[in-house]
Every structure is written in structure tokens, then in C-alpha cells.
Amino acid sequence: MPIGARMLSSPVVKTALITGITGQDGSYLAEILLGKGYAVHGVVRRVAIEDPEHRLWRIRHILPRIRLHAASLESFPSVFQVIQRVQPDELYHLAAQSFVGYSFEDEFSTLATNTNGTHFVLAAVKEASPGTRLYFAASSEMFGDAPAPQNEQTRFQPRSAYGISKLTGYHLARNYREAYGLWAASGILYNHESPRRGFEFVTRKVTSMAARIKLGIESEIRLGNLDARRDWGHAREYAMAMWSMLNHETPDDYVVATGETHSVRELLELAFDAAGLDPYRHLVVDADLVRPADIHTLQGDSSKARRVLGWSPTIAFDALIREMVASDLEYYEQAGARAGAHD
Ligand code: NDP
């Protein structure tokens, strides 16, 4: 059942379908595609339609310009019906249980959602819309502890059910490309963040806690492994890389990364500095937050994407984290003002 049915008045260039449109990447990608004149459709869980205030916050501002369809990655018929109905020129399969930490708590649902969900999307495209170009959201977590920097030739050594689920999706997409001629590309994306990042991820946890401590809402921040190093970019730029992949002549797989790494400790120091705080007056190192099998360093070599797609990141880590802290400060200040207004 489509909602948000008022469509563009300008001529439509192409039709795109995004699974995971309510997520961080889906929201930026939808904005980019609308800007290019696409008719944008999104797949959402029924609960999102029933609770739009809560679930659709990242795309509220574009709701009148997109169409949403209810489907679940757990149900092949629901995925099939949406794809058959929309017949997209481009399908961006972003929906997933996307939090590595949670995959240690619940391997079963992570594997089921991510592996079966991707298989359902591929099989549905093959049967119902074989001319569709498909993007699969693979992940740097597929590399696990492989020596850095990693590129498309690096051997995969995933260290979590999440990484394994993404690697299976990646192999499925490849297999559909090679066996059935499906136009399928995988983006092996490294961590990318923004003010729209989920609160469970370490960057958003740190930037939101810096804001909450600054405003006196909290007094401490608990973190696990401060020495883990990640290659962090800006989600808006990574969504642009997805579009570039689907608009290249041939389908292929690409690493998308900045090539720079920073530790969780650097992230903490930078975010707290941006809020005008000394992090070590508030930090509690909590061994319970260290993952059973952590990855020490993820650092991508994206020279192929730079060479073939002409893609390159421009937003520095410092600017990214300062943007997130500024946004979180504004959010909690306004939330405080709203709560005050209700007193
Ligand atoms: P988010 O967690 O912000 O968004 C995940 C999306 O998937 C949400 O729209 C969510 O819907 C949807 N979803 C989850 N489970 C289901 C389900 N069972 N049925 C239908 N929809 C579901 O992730 P990001 O936007 O950050 O990431 C996009 C993709 O890229 C994911 O596949 C992620 O694993 C991958 N990726 C992300 C990286 C990053 O750093 N951000 C790095 C590498 C890969 P709802 O709103 O209803 O929960």
C-alpha cells in the first residue's frame, strides 16, 4: 500500500527502489536521487507506516515526494510483490540488521534477516524485474582481521555473524551476476557516519553523550575498546558512491573508504573537545563492552572506486565529528526546551 503518493512535477528520469530507506544511508540516498529527478520508492516495515512519527524521522522532510511500500525482509512474497509492482530501474538493497554488536547477542536473527533478505531480493529481481540494476550494501566487516589496508583482492576473514551475513550476501550477489546475468554491484563500504547515525553506533554514542554531558543530562560515558581503529567517512558521500556504482557501464564490486584511520580514543577526545569538555573527567572503561571477537584495524584502500568511478571523499574526520556534536547539542537543547514548555 503506497503512502506519500504526491509525486514530482518535473519529468521523471528513472525509478529507484530503496530497501532500508528509513535508515541513515537510505535517507541520504533518497535525497540524492530526488535531486537527480528520480521517482523514489522505499520499502518499509509495516510498523513504520503504523508509527510514522517515530520510525520515519530521517525521511519526514521528503515524505511527500516519495512512495513507501510495506514489506519485510523476512517474507519473500512481500519483497517479490513490491519489486514486481515498482519495476525499478535501480534497486538499492540497504535494509539489514546493521549493528555488529547486536549480532553477538542474536546471531540467528542477524543471519536470517541479512542473508535470507538479500537472497529474497536477488531472487525476486531475477524473476520479476530482470532488467533492474541492483546495489548490495556489503561491508568492511567482511574483512575482519585481514591486514590493513584492505582492497577488493584481500581475503575475507569475518569476525562476527554480521560480517558473515554480509559476506554471504556479497557472494550471492556475485553468483546472481555470474550465473544469471543480473546487473548486481556490491559496495564494500567502511564505517560512515552523520547526524542521522543510529544511537547504538560508537560515533553517535560518543557525540550524543558529549552533548548530554555538556547540558548536564548525563555525567559519564562508558566505552569498551578505546584502541580499536576505524576508517570513518561521511554517509552522504558514501551514498553518492552507491549511485555511481549503479550508473557505471558494468556491474562490479568496490571498496569505499577514506583510507585514514582513527582510534575510538581520538574520536572521544575530538567529540568532547567540540563540546568544550575534558573526556577523562567523564570516561568509564567498561570491560563488558569489549566484543567477544573484536577487529583491531579496518582501513580501506578505495583506489579502484577513485580510478573507475571518479569517487573520492572530501569531508575530513574532524569536520564529520564536529558536525555530529553540533547537531546533537542542538537536538538536546531543543528537547530540553520542549520538555520545559510542557512543565
Ligand atoms: P541503518 O541501521 O541506519 O538502517 C537499516 C535499515 O534497514 C532501516 O531502514 C531498517 O528499518 C531496515 N531494516 C532492518 N531490518 C529490516 C527488516 N527485517 N525488514 C525490512 N527492513 C529492515 O543502517 P545504515 O543506513 O547505516 O546502513 C545501510 C546498509 O549499509 C546496511 O545494510 C548496513 O549493514 C550497511 N553498511 C553500513 C555501514 C555504515 O557504516 N553505516 C558500513 C557498511 C555497510 P527500520 O527503520 O524499520 O528499523
The number of domains in the chain is 1
Residue 340 has what pLDDT?
A: 67
- Cis check for the bond before 149: say yes or no (omega within 30 of 0): yes
Which of 98, 111, 172, 317 to mutate for ligand 1's pocket (most ligand atoms within 8 Å of CB)?
A: 98
Question: In this structure, what C-alpha cell is assigned to residue 139?
Answer: 561491508
Give per-residue pLDDT as tens, 250-262. Answer: 999 999 999 999 9
Q: Measured from the CA of 189, which atom of ligand 1 is nearest?
A: 43
C-alpha 170/C-alpha 184 separation (Å) is: 10
Residue 47 has what pLDDT?
A: 72
Residue 265 Cβ inside 6 Å of ligand 1? The answer reads no
Residue 292 has what pLDDT?
A: 72
Task: Determine, yes or no, domain membership for 191.
Answer: yes
Give per-residue pLDDT as tens, 85-117. Answer: 999 999 999 999 988 888 888 999 999 999 999
Q: How many CA atoms lie within 13 A of 244 on its CB side?
A: 20
Residue 23 Cβ inside 6 Å of ligand 1? The answer reads yes
For ligand 1, atom 4, the nearest C-alpha belongs to 23
Task: Determine, yes or no, domain membership for 269.
Answer: no
> What CATH number is attached to the domain comprising 167?
3.40.50.720
Q: How far is CA 36 from the centre of its chain?
A: 21
Query: DSSP string covering 155-208, please?
Result: PP---SHHHHHHHHHHHHHHHHHHHH--EEEEEEEPPEE-TTS-TTSHHHHHHH
First to last CA, the chain: 40
Task: Determine, yes or no, domain membership for 7.
Answer: no
C-alpha 321/C-alpha 271 separation (Å) is: 6
Task: Determine, yes or no, domain membership for 57.
Answer: yes
Task: Determine, yes or no, domain membership for 211.
Answer: no
For ligand 1, the distance from its centroid to the CA atom of residue 238, given in whole angstroms, is 14
**In terms of Cα–Cα distance, which of 272, 279, 270, 275 is closest to 317?**
270
Residue 185 has what pLDDT?
A: 98
Residue 4 has what pLDDT?
A: 44
Task: Determine, yes or no, domain membership for 273.
Answer: no
Task: Determine, yes or no, domain membership for 334.
Answer: no
Residue 182 has what pLDDT?
A: 98
Is 38 known to be catalytic?
A: no
Question: In this structure, what C-alpha cell is assigned to residue 68?
Answer: 513507501
85: left (phi over 0), alpha (psi -120 to 50) or beta: alpha
C-alpha 203/C-alpha 209 separation (Å) is: 10
Residue 187 Cβ inside 6 Å of ligand 1? The answer reads no
Task: Determine, yes or no, domain membership for 55.
Answer: yes
Question: In this structure, what C-alpha cell is assigned to residue 207?
Answer: 557525540
Domain that holds residue 173: 15-196+232-259+295-315
Residue 210 has what pLDDT?
A: 98
Residue 122 has what pLDDT?
A: 98
- pLDDT under 50 in the chain at which residues? 1-8
